[in-house]
Chains A and B, each alone.
Chain A
C-alpha cells in the first residue's frame, strides 16, 4: 500500500494521461468513424469502395503495429510529434472503423419497413436518412458505441509500449523500485481502469434497456 501512497501523484498523472488518450482519440474516432459509416451506406460507389477497403484494412491490423507506425516510422518519414500525440493519432485511426461498423449496424438495425414507408410517401435518400432512419439508429447505436469506448479504454494501455506515461507504463516504473508490492500496484492499476469502464458499461446497459422498452 505504501508504494501506491508514496507514488500517488504519479498514478494520478498517469490516470489523467489515460483519460486524455481516451477522450481525445474517442472524439476523433467518433467523427472519423461516422464519416466512414456515412460513406459506407452512401449511393456513391467510389465512397462505398473506399470506406469498405479502409474498414477492412485497419480492422485487420494489430493496434501495436498502428502505434509503432505513428511513434517510430512516421518520425523517420519526417513527421515528428510528441509520443502522446502519436499514440492519440494511432488510437483514433485504429478505433474509427469499429465506430463505423457500430454505426452501420445501427442503421441496419432499423427495420426495413421504416425505410420502405419513408420511401413510399416520397422522401428522398437524404430525407429518409435524416428524418426517419437516423433518429432511430442513433438510439440503437449508443450502446455498441459505448462498448467501443470501453475497448478503447483498455486499448490505451498499449501506448505504454510506445513511450507514453499512462497507467501501465507508470506501474512498470514504480514496480521497478517496489518489487515487493507488485501485486498491490497492478491491482491498483486495475481499479483505475475499472473506475472508467464500469460506469461506461452500466450506462450502456441502462441505455440498452431504455431502448428495448421503447420498441
Chain B
C-alpha cells in the first residue's frame, strides 16, 4: 500500500472500482479497436486484396521448421555478438574504472575525458567508424563499438560502487600491509562488483538490445535474418508474423536477463542484511528503471536520487 493514499473507505472503494471499470473498459476498447483494425482485410499498393493480420493463412508459417532454423541462426549470431561484446565490455569497464580512480592525475583525467566522450557518442556512429576506418568486418565492428560504449558505462558503475564503499575498507586493507593494487583487487572490487551486479546485468540487457544496430551495418543477426530476409524467403504476406516472432524472441531473452538481475539484486540484498541493506535497497530503487519494477512501492524507498547515470539508459 502506498503512502499517497489511505486504506480506502467504502466511498473511495466504490469510486476506485468505478474508475477501474471505466479505465479498464477504455483500455480494452482501445485494444479491441487495434485488434479489429489489424484483422481487417486490406488492399495492398498493387491493388491485390490481402487477408487480415489474424487470418490463418498468415500464421501457418509458425508450423514451418525453416522458420525456426532461421530464428536459431539469427539468434545465435545475436547472442554470439552480445556474449563476446559483454566479455570485452566488462574487461574494458574494469580497466576504465581503475584508470578513473587512479591517484595519478595524468591517468585519471584522460580516463574521465575518455569515459565522457564514449558515453556521449551514438553506438551506431562508433560501429560505422570501426567498420569504415579499421575495415574489421561487421561482426568486429559491432563487438568493438558495443564493448567500448558499454565498457564506459560499466566502468562508471564500478567506480560508483567503489566510491560507495565505506572508507574503512580501503584504509584497513592498506593498514594490514596490502599494496594499493592488492587492496583494490581483493577488497574493493569484490564488494563493488557484488553491489553493482544488478546494474551491470541491466547494462547487458542494453547491450543485447543494441546488437540489433548491427543490422544496419548488414550483420546477419536476428532482425536481419528473420525480418529483413524472411519476407523474401517465406513470402511478403508473412511480414507481420515474422515481426511478431522476432519481437517475442527479443522480449523473452531480455526479460529473462532482467529477471536474473532482479533475482541477483534480491539475493545480494538478503545476503548482507542489517545496516548495509539500505544501500542495496537504494541501488534497487535506481534500478526501478531496469525491469525491476515492483521491487518497491511508490515513496517507500528513501533517497533514490543522484547516480541516475548508472541506471538503465534508453
Contacts and interface: CB of A to CB of B under 8 A. Distances in A.
A112 B16 contact: no
Nearest to B251: A60
Contact of A60 (B205, B239, B305): B205
Nearest to A54: B27
B302 A155 contact: no
A143 interface: yes
B20 A44 contact: yes
Nearest to A153: B122
Nearest to B285: A108
Contacts of A152: 314
B36 interface: no
Contact of A110 (B254, B294, B299): B299
A154 B291 CA distance: 22
B220 to A, nearest CB: 14
B107 interface: no
A194 B113 CA distance: 13
Interface size class on chain B is 35 or more
A143 B308 contact: yes
Given A60-B250, A155-B314, A77 B53 contact: yes
Contacts of A98: 289, 312-314
Contacts of A158: 122, 124, 213, 216
Interface in A36-68: 41, 43-47, 50, 52, 55-57, 59-65, 68
Contacts of B137: none
Most buried by B among A62, A158, A189: A62
A125 to B, nearest CB: 4
B69 interface: no
Decide if the interface of chain A is mainly helix, strand, loop or mixed.
helix
A105 B53 contact: no
Contacts of B305: 109, 140
A64 B218 CA distance: 13
B20 A52 contact: no
Contacts of B311: 144
A193 B122 contact: yes
B55 interface: no
Interface centre among B227, B236, B299 (most CB of A within 10 A): B299
Interface in A133-191: 133, 140, 143-144, 147-148, 150-152, 154-158, 160-161, 168, 171-172, 175, 182-183, 186, 189-190
Given A116-B3, A119-B3, A212-B306, 14 more contacts: A41-B4, A52-B293, A55-B293, A59-B291, A61-B254, A63-B314, A68-B223, A98-B314, A108-B298, A112-B3, A112-B299, A125-B4, A147-B308, A148-B314
Interface of A: 41, 43-47, 50, 52, 55-57, 59-65, 68-69, 72-73, 76-78, 94-95, 98, 101-102, 104-105, 107-112, 115-116, 119, 124-125, 128-129, 133, 140, 143-144, 147-148, 150-152, 154-158, 160-161, 168, 171-172, 175, 182-183, 186, 189-190, 193-194, 197-198, 201, 208, 212
21 contacts: A41-B4, A45-B16, A52-B294, A56-B291, A60-B254, A60-B291, A61-B251, A61-B254, A62-B212, A62-B250, A65-B246, A69-B243, A98-B314, A102-B289, A105-B288, A108-B298, A112-B3, A148-B313, A151-B313, A182-B132, A189-B125
